[in-house]
Structure 1
Amino acid sequence: MSRIGKKPVTLVKGASASISGQTIEVKGPKGTRSFTAGDDVTLTIEGDAIKVTPRGLSKRARSQWGMSRSMIQNLVTGVTTGFKKEMEIQGVGYRAAAQGNVLKLSVGYSHEVNFEVPKGVTVATPKPTEIVVEGIDQQEVGQVAANIREWKRPEPYKGKGIRYKGEFIFRKEGKKK
């Protein structure tokens, strides 16, 4: 029995859901998202809750059960509150500036890096050393944050680079005489 799958997904105020076949569409104040579940699970709406039940006892049906419930929960969370990744930049002269859908990064290269932000994701820079990535799709927000981080990963000697807020970087000791 799936502990996650057994819990119904409650629709918070302002969100509505509709099911057509194996596709569920959730609408909220931030937008609309949909998810197509596999044939191993059944989706039902009961009042203000969405229930996911397996169609059999096979291993695949049980694994799809919990995964489908988690995906639907992420849809509801995304269209109501959204997802956010906060990042910080450390290093002398390292900074970022958001201009429209372009993020300009100065991270130690001889030139400024222009990062194109995809649609559905917003990038803000409240301070020159902070980057906030927001959107309604958790996977897309995480991927954009990872792509930004790839431009200058934190190095272990001085800790310079782009890191997630609260991320611990294991520091190494430098050369000894």
Structure 2
Amino acid sequence: MSCSIPQRCARQLLREPFQRGSLPIFLAPAFSPRTQCFSTTSPAQSRVGGAALSIPPEVSFKLIDIPATLSRTRGKDIPKFVAEIKGPKGEMSLNIPSFVNITHDEAAKKASLSVEDTTVPHQRAMWGTVRALLQNHILGVSEGHVCVLSMVGVGYRATIEDKASTVQPAYPGQKFVSLKVGFSHPIELGIPQGVVASTPQPTRILLEGVDKRIVTQFAAEIREWRRPEPYKGKGIFVNGETIKLKAKKIK
């Protein structure tokens, strides 16, 4: 089977060494060797990890060394020291990986983070993660974290009860959130330790706590019982969550 003239010319150009003078100008970029990398961003700075931490005056920020005998973590994130953060709302601690360095300026109430090798992907990923966790801890011990749940639906109600008939308390003095969200029986959920729940309105649940992870996780567990649906707009919404309504399916 014979090839057309343009196909034979293209094959001949690919076999022969590249010569810029033997090609038209508009074909030169396609046959030239690639000399530029796909990404031109500098791997030296992290947008989140490079930002300095502001420590309020009422918050105590300390770095405590961990002896090697007490460090049981294996893998890349072996902690070398722990950050101890205390404030008016409580105290928290965070294990810092060995490749993360923290410079604490007590006079200026600032702390900055850096990593040993910015070209290692795992270190760059943990750079911003550790900084975000420290920021959440500082905000938690100074002001606290809040989640507001709004219940939208006919007959949807929530109350805070001292006792529950379907759930056993996990610790002494535990309270329970009782939900009425369209089931034939109330839903009773135990409030985690360190979280304070209240109902300023029958259709509003206010969760407060020092640890952001625990507060948001409990809010997600409550929301899971009635996730917002897109046809009638009913459900449990967290922190001003919105949903786009769909048109009803009419046959």
TM-score when normalising by structure 1? 0.93
1:41 aligns with 2:108: no
Q: Compute the displacement of 1:60 (Å).
A: 2.3
Tell me the residue number matched to 1:51. 112
Residues 1:50 and 1:165: Cα distance change in structure 2 (over 3 Å): closer
Tell me the residue number matched to 2:203. 129
Provide the secondary structure at the position in 1 that maps to 2:218. helix
Tell me the residue number matched to 1:73. 135
1:24 aligns with 2:83: yes
Q: Compute the displacement of 1:66 (Å).
A: 1.8
1:76-119: CA deviations, max 9, x gaps? Answer: 00100111111111111110011242111000000111111110
Tell me the residue number matched to 1:63. 125
Between the two proteins, the alignment pairs up a number of residues equal to 177
Residue type of the alignment partner of 2:219: A
1:16-52: CA deviations, max 9, x gaps? Answer: 0111122101000000011111111112321122221
Residues 1:175 and 1:5: Cα distance change in structure 2 (over 3 Å): closer
- Pick from 31, 55, 62: which aligns with 1:11? 55
Q: Distance in 2 between matches of 1:95 and 1:56?
A: 53
Runs of 4+ in 1 over 4 A off after TM superposition: none
Identity of aligned residues (%): 38
Residue type of the alignment partner of 1:24: A
Residue type of the alignment partner of 2:146: K
More strand by share: 1
TM-score when normalising by structure 2? 0.67
Q: Look at both structures and tell me which one has the larger radius of gyration over its CA atoms.
A: 2
Q: Distance in 2 between matches of 1:83 and 1:9?
A: 18
1:112 aligns with 2:186: yes
Q: Distance in 1 between matches of 2:219 and 2:237?
A: 9
1:98 aligns with 2:142: no
Q: Say if 1:5 and 1:65, in contact at 8 Å, map to a contact too.
A: yes
Residues 1:55 and 1:175: Cα distance change in structure 2 (over 3 Å): closer
Q: Distance in 1 between matches of 2:124 and 2:231?
A: 46
Provide the secondary structure at the position in 2 that maps to 1:87. strand
**Bigger shift: 26-35 or 93-102?**
93-102
Q: Which has the higher contact order (CA 8 A, sep 6+)?
A: 1
The alignment yields a C-alpha RMSD, in angstroms, of 1.5
Q: Distance in 1 between matches of 2:152 and 2:105?
A: 49
Once the two structures are superposed, the pairs formed by residues 158-169 of structure 1 within 5 Å of their partners are 158-169=232-243
- Pick from 140, 150, 153: which aligns with 1:88? 150
Unaligned runs of 5+ in 1: none
Residue type of the alignment partner of 1:125: T
**Bigger shift: 160-169 or 138-147?**
160-169
Q: Compute the displacement of 1:176 (Å).
A: 2.4
Residue type of the alignment partner of 1:93: G
